[in-house]
Amino acid sequence: MSLHQQDSGDGGDARCGHCGATAVGPCARCRSPVCGDCCVLTEGSAKVWAVCLRCRDRGGASLHRAWLTVAWWLIAPLVVLFIFVAILANTIGK
Ligand SMILES: [Zn+2]
Ligand SMILES: [Zn+2]
């Protein structure tokens, strides 16, 4: 049983900013180290992101929200066009 303490790499034991446990990786948004218990996985795009709870509470899954915003800006003109055509068709039909 030896008691030698070797440094396992520079910054290898980064601590979680929430609970102080050993961090497993950086947050995808604020880049602060988080442990497995203090992060949530966000499946926004093709890649799965680990976002810390603080960022989750602050901006929600903004990766998701960004995609929803893009989808909304794509769909909204189509909806307006559809309503316009429907009203026009109804007017002509009479
Ligand atoms: Zn933690
Ligand atoms: Zn964060």
Whether 41 contacts 50, CB under 8 Å: yes
Altogether, the residues listed in the chain come to a count of 94
Q: 1-11: per-residue pLDDT in tens? A: 555 555 444 55
Taking ligand 2, which is a single-atom ion, which protein residues have CB atoms under 5 Å away?
A: 27, 29-30, 52, 55
Segments making up each domain of the chain, as ranges: 25-93
From the CA of 21, the nearest ligand is: 1
pTM above 0.75, yes or no: no
26 CA → ligand 1 middle, Å: 11
**Would you say the C-alpha torsion 68, 70, 75, 77 has a positive or negative sign?**
positive
From the CA of 51, the nearest ligand is: 2
Expressed in percent and rounded to 5, the helix, strand and coil fractions of the chain are 45, 15, 40
From the CA of 40, the nearest ligand is: 2
Whether 49 contacts 41, CB under 8 Å: yes
Q: Which residues pair with 49 in a beta bridge?
A: 42
Q: 17-60: per-residue pLDDT in tens? A: 889 999 988 998 899 999 999 998 877 667 778 889 888 887 65
